[in-house]
A and B are shown apart, each in its own frame.
Chain A
Amino acid sequence: MEYCEAGLRSPEAKRFFLENHTKPMLVIEAGKVGYQYWKDLWSYRELFYFLAWRDVLVRYKQTVIGVMWAVLRPLLTMIVFTVVFGKLAKMPSQGVPYPILVFAGMLPWQFFSTALSESSSSLISNSNLLTKVYFPRLIIPTSSVIASFVDFSISFVLMFLLMIAYGVWPTWRFVFFPVFCLHALAVSIGSGLWLAALNVKYRDFRYVVPFIVQLGCYISPVGFDSGVVPEQWRLLYSCNPMVGVIDGFRWFLLGQENFYWPGFLCSTILTLLLLWTGISYFRRTEGKIADII
């Protein structure tokens, strides 16, 4: 065949030809999933970094007061919560200064709420990518969670300043920091994946997200200590996965003694369940995303 010979004249073309015998084969078929997908996910890991890097870059470029905002938001919320729950409602704080108690709870909560809002809208805001290029779609909502880590780190610095100011020192338990970070990450990604997929499928779902975040802030122990929940309701209360995370943060940061282990276990199991169902639901919707977005 003429065209093939024409294509193979140059040495470069020969090189291509030879290389092709070792090239991996790819099969595209309806409903073809599984092994290939996870392999792809690994080979696209650089795109994951790049998208996360883009989100961080854009976030702090667009708003002049980007960093200021990351400082002001938790500080102002902390002041309001301290006044409302600590001073007006006179909630107990287990011997820890109330601002510190609130701030330790707000660290994971604010991470979760920004991560959730970012990742749930991430597919829609990247729809131009989704309809033009292939890559494992899981990259988009997960990489957008990473950008929330920047705000989280800024808040963490604030936390330390606050702790120094109040003379509260972390204990040996601080080594559990990564464990609870992972826990917070798992909750965020799990629920983020659910909402991202639902958001694509049902466009009015985006109205639900701010509601979840707002309501969640009050049903999670952000402004108060979860010890105020009556003992018989404690396990049920722990079905909110963020309860385990927030309690954990207070435990390793402030050295609170009465850590409620059954609740933490319950939170962890539910978090893993959330993550698992989130990933599998996302994977099921994934094939249709480009068609319906």
Chain B
Amino acid sequence: MTEPMIRIENVSKKYRIRHEGRSKYVSLRDVIAGKVSNLWRKIRHFGADEVPVDSNEEDFWALKDVSFDVQLGEQIAIIGRNGAGKSTLLKILSRITEPTEGRITLHGRMASLLEVGTGFHPELTGRENIFLNGAIQGMSKSEIERKFDEIVAFSETEKFLDTPVKHFSSGMYVRLAFAVAAHLEQDILLVDEVLAVGDAQFQEKCLTKMSDVGKTGRTVLFVSHNMIAVKKLCQRAVVLDHGRSEVFNSVNEAIQAYLSQKSKMSGEISWPDQKSAPGNHQMRLKAVRFISDGQVNASPSVAKDIEIQVDYWNLQEGNPKLSLHIFNSFGYMLFSSTNFDFEMPPDAASSPKNMEVGIFRTSCIIPKVLLNPGQHTAKIFIFTGFPPDVIVEKTIAFDVLEDDHVRKGYLGEWLGAVRPILNWETHQLK
């Protein structure tokens, strides 16, 4: 066995999280103010043994002791949930950021595709952007000139080469961007979810191109949530979980491990103490949970029904009603649903069926294969009248996972906000 192309040894990355900071950035003003207040603290506690320290900051290990080897010509997948450290690992590998500990040895030139169209400038033409983007990705001018026609042909944007890309449609933009990326000649390619772009047809083209790249003996590290693409492109996989890595020699085993990972989202929020629970004198919320396959699960499969249960204390005789809003990860509201009829307003007095004082559970089922894979959030309203007594803001998140059996081998992203299964019929008319 020869030296591995990539050897990753005990790589760790620490980030410092600021708790108090309202703004993401440090400003000189705050630094000076902080220094002054520290000095003041020291003066006040002068002579004391212990000076209380500012504990607004906390260390967070995005990666911890990650180690694995990648052999020449191997396509390896890196999978894991959001926040498991995949992006951090790619950023370290592509030298965008330094590891806090550990060491990586690379044999060969490397290109990273963390995003297609990095550095595209809207004012520049397609032609100019090909050169600029190529140079940013580490191609030399002669290399780009040599591949120029191929790139243009692949992107299908010949007619618009001398138009500023700000006039491009988003599809054209992405095609051009991927075309440059696909023609990189580096020995090692780091690919991060770039396949989630463009229309279905172009995605297929990209995937084919990716697997061609693999066949030429190029080493590929592929980060994706698209398990079907992972299965098709990779022979091995590394599963990341809260910054720790586990290497699997079979992709199927890795996917199983990934699916059974405990999600960061618990799938249940509960308020054990009635007094501090959200609500008012009429009713208070007790718990909200997502149930799939008979158990609390924040990562239900696309192929399974998702039951949403809401438990609450009814503190006065009345007739509380529920309303549910579901949002996708772009913050777009997919739908809303209520357990009352709009013809009859949720008015406690006029409602015939009053609920007694006690604990109640209201639930509903989101049918399977309705939500597309990805993170969703639910907003729940409970009301005995207007305005609502309880509004559970979009804090309850759940992650719908893709299922192989539902897709039947289709590789691309399933387009659209929802994906209901519709009954299709064809009749011969004549």
What is A's interface to B at a CB cutoff of 8 Å?
A: 1-4, 6-8, 10, 12-17, 19-21, 23, 25-32, 44, 46-47, 50-51, 54, 57-58, 61-62, 126, 128-135, 201-205, 287, 290-292
Contact = CB atoms under 8 A, between A and B. Distances in A.
Q: Which of B5, B15, B138, B141 has the most CB of A within 10 A?
A: B138
Contact of A128 (B75, B119, B124): B119
Q: What are the 4 closest A-B residue pairs judged by CB atoms, nearest first? A: A7-B73, A13-B217, A134-B95, A3-B235
Contact of A6 (B99, B105, B235): B235
Contacts of A10: 215-217
Interface residues on B, range: 35 or more
B190 to A, nearest CB: 10
B136 A203 contact: no
A16 B97 contact: no
B403 interface: no
Contacts of B110: 26
Contacts of B135: 46-47, 50-51
A133 B235 contact: no
B128 A57 contact: yes
B196 interface: no
13 contacts: A1-B71, A4-B72, A16-B73, A19-B187, A20-B108, A28-B99, A32-B98, A46-B135, A51-B135, A54-B132, A58-B121, A133-B94, A205-B28
B386 interface: no
A2 B94 CA distance: 27
A129 B123 contact: no
Contacts, number: 167
B104 interface: yes
Contact of B118 (A58, A129, A287): A129
Q: Which of A23, A54, A130 has the most CB of B within 10 A?
A: A54
Interface string B212-231: 00111110000000000000
Given A29-B99, A290-B96, A7 B141 contact: no
Contacts of B25: 202-203, 292
B100 interface: yes
B170 interface: no
Given A17-B72, A130-B96, A23 B104 contact: no
SS of A interface (majority): helix
A23 B217 contact: no
Given A51-B132, A290-B96, 6 more contacts: A1-B71, A7-B74, A16-B216, A27-B104, A28-B93, A133-B112
A133 B26 contact: no
Contacts of A292: 25-26
Contacts of B109: 23
Contact of B15 (A31, A54, A135, A291): A291
A202 B28 contact: yes
A158 to B, nearest CB: 26
B281 interface: no
Given A202-B27, A204-B28, A204-B29, A134 B96 contact: yes
Contacts of B31: 202
A166 B97 CA distance: 56
Given A8-B73, A17-B73, A57-B124, A2 B235 contact: yes
A3 B74 contact: yes
Given A16-B187, A132-B115, A204 B128 contact: no
B86 interface: no
B264 interface: no
A50 B132 contact: yes
Contacts of B131: 50
Contact of A133 (B72, B73, B119): B119
B103 interface: yes
B379 interface: no
